[in-house]
Each structure stands twice: as structure tokens, then as C-alpha cells.
Amino acid sequence: MSSEFVIRLASEAVYTTLKASAPMMVIALVIGLVISIFQATTQIQEQTLAFVPKIVAVLLSILIFGPWILTTLVDYTYNLFNNLYKFIG
């Protein structure tokens, strides 16, 4: 196994992880920003006010983007096994 092959596989793994987690991260970021603005304007400093909406939003985003995430991970796994089979065989 060459070092270029391993580095390419590792970079594909990192890219796939970022690609699969991006929708949840962006939604959590937007919800957190909206809640922070709301807390700053109303001067309500309740900690649970920030966490509960983010948890609900991330859960809904997992339900919405779940099939796409699963397809992305299955494609990566298929390509990984294909590359390993070509390298070994």
C-alpha cells in the first residue's frame, strides 16, 4: 500500500464526514444564532432555551437529510471497498 493511496483514502474519509455532517451543523449554527439574538434582545439568560431548540432542529434535520446522508456513506463505503479490492486483487 503506497502512502499516496492511504492519504487519498484518509482525505476522502474526512471529506465524506464533513459532507455528511454539514446539514446538521449549519442548522444548529443558524438556530443557535437566532436564539442568541433572541436572548440578547430580551435579556433572558436561560441555558435550556439554547439547547432544546437546537436538539429539536438537529433531530428534524436528521429525519429530513437522513436518506441523503445514508446514500453518501454507502457510496463512500462502496468506493472504499472497490479501491481496496483493486489494490489487493
Overall pTM > 0.85 = no
CA 57 to each of CA 23, 37, 47, 61, 73: distance values in angstroms, whole numbers, following the listed order? 11, 17, 17, 6, 22
Confidence band, pLDDT 50/70/90 cuts, at residue 29 = very high
The average confidence (pLDDT) of the chain is: 91
Confidence band, pLDDT 50/70/90 cuts, at residue 45 = confident
pLDDT of amino acid 89: 67
- Domain boundaries along the sequence of the chain: 3-88
Return d(Cα 8, Cα 75) in angstroms, integer.
16
Strand, helix or coil at 46?
Answer: coil
pLDDT tens for each residue of 31-42: 999 999 998 898
Confidence band, pLDDT 50/70/90 cuts, at residue 26 = very high
